[in-house]
Chain A
Amino acid sequence: MSAGQDWTTRTAAELADALAAGEVTSVELTQAHLDRIAAVDGSAIEGVHAFLHVDAEGALAAARASDERRAAGSPATFLDGVPIAVKDVLTTEGMPTTCGSRILEGWVPPYDATVVARLRAAGLPILGKTNMDEFAMGSSTEHSAYGPTRNPWDLERVPGGSGGGSAAAVAAYEAPLALGTDTGGSIRQPGAVTGTVGVKPTYGGVSRYGLVAMANSLDQVGPVTRTVLDAALLHELVGGHDPRDSTSVDQPLPDLVGAARKGATGDLSGLRVGVVTELQGEGYQAGVQARFTESLDLLVAAGAEVVEVSCPQFVHALAAYYVLMPSEASSNLAKFDAMRYGLRVLPEGVPDPSAEEVMRATRDAGFGDEVKRRIILGTYALSSGYYDAYYGQAQKVRTLISRDFEAAFAQVDVLVSPTSPTTAFRLGEKLDDPLAMYLNDLATIPANLAGVPGISVPAGLAEEDGLPVGFQVLAPALADDRLYRVGAALEAALHARWGGPLTPPELPAGLDRREGASA
């Protein structure tokens, strides 16, 4: 193992401590991760393929600036100098942002998303942009127009989605930290199937300004890390009110890092934990269920009281989600019309095409099948005469799901379930069966509909396939600190049992990395 690889396996908190102690520079850390990317990320053809764009030059420049600040005795933040990867759905000034779509190929935004601006201000070098299902539509990252990301635990399998790139990059030690976005589970489900920690904060807890929206009322930006403490550190750094996002909550975040540290002591006495009846049993893989039950026992051992809680409306969550999300998406994606930026395709055989004909040809060529499927669904659901039956009805279901959460949180402090019903499936396995693909998000969607926060913590490997399983914790809106307390306690108990964090198998290195190479 090279010295570089050594740094890449550390947690962000450890790296920050090492920087503070002068054991390493940000340039060394950043270079170590760039080397790791060069070795294992490969391309659409082979390797992990977590990155769509690597910005070595920009990252190293930021690292040098960080080292200068530290040398002057004035680091910007605790994480100053720790590199990070950013999902390609967040705008980055001067760095391509494609959302995994052909229609944005080559687009370089003139502005930073608020969370990206906060990363830069905090001194974190941005390694690059991570792969994702096109416009965050999918649960496997196979819907990326630039080829799939592969799961570092088994390169024949998907890393989950839509944020498979961020999760795989963190799992494969290509980045200690990453940002993802979660509309129906796109942070938590990839976290579960890659053995990483993923947090969807309370809706409004982190600014969405600069997040290219799939479904504005459901989207949230959140951390993807290897430990619960790292997630809390990153969450505190990017979270908090932003006047550019009207839906952002105008009040201070709870003490998330404090909650994570407190949880890590392993004491959960007095905590009431509710197991959601509707989010287990049929459809859940046996090995997933077994790891989930084992984690529950650990929570009890830590002093928590575990009860079963029913949320009867959750069974309608998937259906409501697949009306609301495409409705909003169909409108959001209308702006991609070839008039101002991105791809422009001229229709073949039309000598003097009108703006409308250019729009049609571009959208036909630039959007993938899943995107088109959702635009059609959403357009239909919003059409006059169907609105009440679909969009209106789905909004009612959404209200009922929120009431289920309210009732449940009147009885317990947190709710828990497996994050995903199964472990990582094989590439291509569900690509032709959209409904089977949608079922991956069964347990994660209710939180998005109600705006409550959720975390997925690695809970071990399933017996039958040796692949990671995620344990989901949900808390009431604005009580994100509970996720970190419970998550850190569970993590501490599991690490004690395993003798440390789970480590994926060695990856083939020395791959040919071709920027933008497609499958």
Chain B
Amino acid sequence: MSAATTTLVPFEDVLATYDPALGLEVHVELNSATKMFCGCPTEFGADPNTQVCPTCLGLPGAMPAVNRKAVESAIRIGLALNCEIAEWCRFARKNYFYPDMPKNFQTSQYDEPIAFEGWMDVTVPTEDGEVETYRVEIERAHMEEDTGKSLHVGTSGRIHGADYSLVDYNRAGIPLIEIVTKPIVGAGARAPEVAKAYVAQLRDLIVALGVSDARMDQGSIRADVNLSLAPKGSGVLGTRTETKNVNSLRSVERAVRHEMQRHAAILGGGGSILQETRHWHEDTGVTTSGREKSDAEDYRYFPEPDLVPVAPSREWVEELRGTLPENPTQRRARLQAEWGYSDLEMRDTVGAGALTLVEETIAAGTSPAAARKWWLSELARRANDAGVELPALGVTPTQVAAVQALVEGGSINDKLARQVFDGLIAGEGTPEEVVEKRGLAIVSDEGALSEAVDDAIAANPDVAAKIRDGKVAAAGALIGAVMKQMRGQADAGRVRELILEKLGS
């Protein structure tokens, strides 16, 4: 019964028998200065229970008041997702008991979301270098408050088996927007990629809107992945599972793939899928059963009587529509033209999630080619090795621009630049400080360089003779020897000049 004992079905075999249907619920933590229903600050990382008040602690008698900035962000997200914006909507109480929820109900929206009926076009590259577009239909985007954070102290780290639990209510009441898709069908083998691309594009959109820090690693964007399988060609929807808190783009793709294979194994063995919540395990790449949803919690939703309806005027909505950033497709076309990238280069840049990083690096003064080189060849590889998203690597566009400026100024070369990135990732300071601390600057002391060239000539008389005879290509061996002696901290071009000078070629 448990995931561990289920033998997964090979991915290709899943597709031979079943059609997958996806559904994504993405929670976006807004970056408003204050909480959804009170004036407490929302800054990440403060000491536990220091950003709380009677309202977000749910003390008896305290009342909520809606944060207008959060409503504004919700409307802008809705508009960017091509949604209708409600003329009138209410908050509702979602009732259930949990220690990290101060009131034992969550103030959320139920049947009257602020935004509904939208869509987003998601692009996925194909093997032949083309781009395929899937239209993901958005069912709703609604406002709600976050819960507190439980810390289960004990060996297990989970609630079961904990010695005791602590709750930090700093997060309680932080505004969230939950964006729910309609079932995404027809993606077939591309389902895992479509899921990932949707979340990635949604994240880019959120970043462009400036409404959230959009850091999956800090939980400011959290994805729940719903998946079901139906017999191939049946056109129906099967029973779904909901995999909670999938916290990286890569994991979104892996979780979908895993659930497809797991569902197929259970269905193929004559079993049926239990409608339940599942937990994603990043380390092992599997899901395990969470609480069952079938013995259904009845949330007893009813309209929140302490709040008045939210009724955004049409004038306000249109005003907010005017503040939307250009849509991702337009933006890509514009940037590609500006940068002179080929289609392939552009696709790689987007695919690596580096579009904004490259854009900001170029804005900091780096050439489009150099920006692409560093982000795509060097830093993307490191992010992949470290298993993190590119933005979470710890290197900023400003730093990349500074490194490239050092290269262009002749203080370091490309090879040394890689060591500078090591230093940046290790948190050793600015690029200049890393160069200084690690002693990476190219030696421009002509005396030392000249000495090293003399040593190399003396040590390789046969090579020197060939060069004297006019075989200039042989200089490479001497350059290598000099660079080795200088531990790479020399300008190879200058070394070459010196060798040729001294050997009279």
Contacts and interface: CB of A to CB of B under 8 A. Distances in A.
A245 interface: yes
Interface residues of B, number: 29
Interface in A380-430: 382-384, 387, 391
A210 B93 CA distance: 19
Given A246-B306, A328-B305, A335-B102, A91 B60 contact: yes
Interface stretch (A36-44, A104-112, A122-130, A468-476): A104-112
A382 B302 contact: yes
A99 interface: yes
A91 B61 contact: yes
A340 B102 contact: yes
A246 B65 contact: yes
Contacts of B62: 111, 209-210
Interface string B47-88: 000000010011111111110000000000000000000000
A247 B57 CA distance: 20
Contacts of B58: 335, 340
A341 interface: yes
Interface in A325-364: 327-328, 330-331, 334-337, 339-341, 355-356, 359
Contacts of B66: 246
B63 A331 contact: no
B302 A331 contact: yes
B97 interface: yes
Nearest to A103: B60
Contacts of B300: 330-331, 379, 382-384, 387
Interface string A193-222: 000000000000000111111011100000
A245 B103 CA distance: 17
Given A383-B300, A384-B300, A337 B57 contact: no
Contact of A111 (B54, B301, B305): B54
Interface residues of A, number: 44
Contact of B60 (A97, A330, A331): A97
A244 interface: yes
A90 interface: yes
Given A331-B95, A331-B302, A334-B105, A110 B61 contact: no
A113 interface: yes
B165 A243 contact: no
B307 interface: yes
Name the residue among A113, A328, A383 with the largest chain B CB count within 10 angstroms.
A328
SS of B interface (majority): loop
Contacts of A330: 95, 300
B303 to A, nearest CB: 9
Contacts of B61: 90-91, 97, 109, 111, 113, 209-213
A243 B102 CA distance: 22
Contact of B305 (A217, A334, A355): A217
Contact of B95 (A107, A208, A213, A334): A334
Interface string A81-122: 000000000110000010100001001011101000000000
B96 to A, nearest CB: 9
B445 interface: no
Interface in B112-153: none
B51 to A, nearest CB: 15
B63 A208 contact: yes
A379 B165 CA distance: 28
Contacts of B3: none
A384 B105 CA distance: 16
B261 to A, nearest CB: 34
B97 A244 contact: no
A110 B59 CA distance: 9
Interface in B387-421: none
A328 B305 CA distance: 8
A94 to B, nearest CB: 14
A246 B307 CA distance: 6
Contacts of A328: 302, 305
B104 interface: yes
Nearest to A339: B99
A213 B307 CA distance: 13
A331 B93 contact: yes
Contact of A337 (B93, B99, B165, B306): B99
Nearest to A247: B308
A212 B165 CA distance: 28
B298 interface: yes
A232 to B, nearest CB: 26
Contacts of B95: 330-331, 334, 382
Nearest to A210: B61
Contacts of A337: 97, 99, 104
Name the residue among B95, B300, B301 with the largest chain A CB count within 10 angstroms.
B300
Interface in B213-246: none
Interface in B349-404: none
A27 B356 CA distance: 70
Nearest to A342: B60
B71 to A, nearest CB: 13
Interface in A441-466: none
A25 to B, nearest CB: 33
A90 B99 CA distance: 25
A109 B59 contact: yes
Interface in A49-98: 90-91, 97
A215 B165 CA distance: 32
Contacts of A359: 97
Given A111-B54, A331-B105, A337-B104, A212 B298 contact: no
Nearest to B307: A246
Contacts of A340: 57-59, 102
A281 to B, nearest CB: 33
Interface in B100-114: 102-105
Contact of B97 (A104, A216, A334): A334
A391 B105 CA distance: 18
B83 to A, nearest CB: 25
A339 B172 CA distance: 15
Interface in B34-55: 54
Contact of B59 (A99, A111, A327, A379): A111
Given A331-B105, A337-B104, A382-B300, A216 B305 contact: yes
A113 B102 CA distance: 19
Contacts of A379: 300
Given A99-B60, A209-B61, A340-B102, A384 B306 contact: no
A121 to B, nearest CB: 18
Interface string B300-326: 111001111000000000000000000
A406 to B, nearest CB: 20
Interface string B447-485: 000000000000000000000000000000000000000
A19 to B, nearest CB: 31
Contacts of A387: 300, 302
A144 to B, nearest CB: 17
A264 B305 CA distance: 38
A110 B54 contact: yes
Contact of A335 (B60, B63, B167, B306): B60
A327 B306 CA distance: 14
Contacts of B298: 383-384
Contacts of B105: 331, 334
B165 A355 contact: yes
Contacts of B308: 246-247
25 contacts: A91-B59, A91-B60, A97-B61, A99-B60, A109-B59, A111-B54, A111-B59, A209-B61, A210-B62, A211-B61, A212-B61, A213-B61, A246-B307, A247-B308, A330-B300, A331-B105, A331-B302, A334-B95, A334-B105, A335-B58, A335-B103, A336-B60, A337-B97, A359-B97, A383-B300
Given A246-B64, A387-B300, 15 more contacts: A97-B60, A104-B60, A109-B54, A212-B61, A213-B61, A245-B306, A246-B308, A327-B302, A328-B302, A331-B93, A335-B58, A337-B104, A340-B58, A383-B300, A384-B298
Q: Sorted from nearest, which 3 A-B pairs have the closest CB atoms?
A: A334-B104, A382-B300, A216-B305
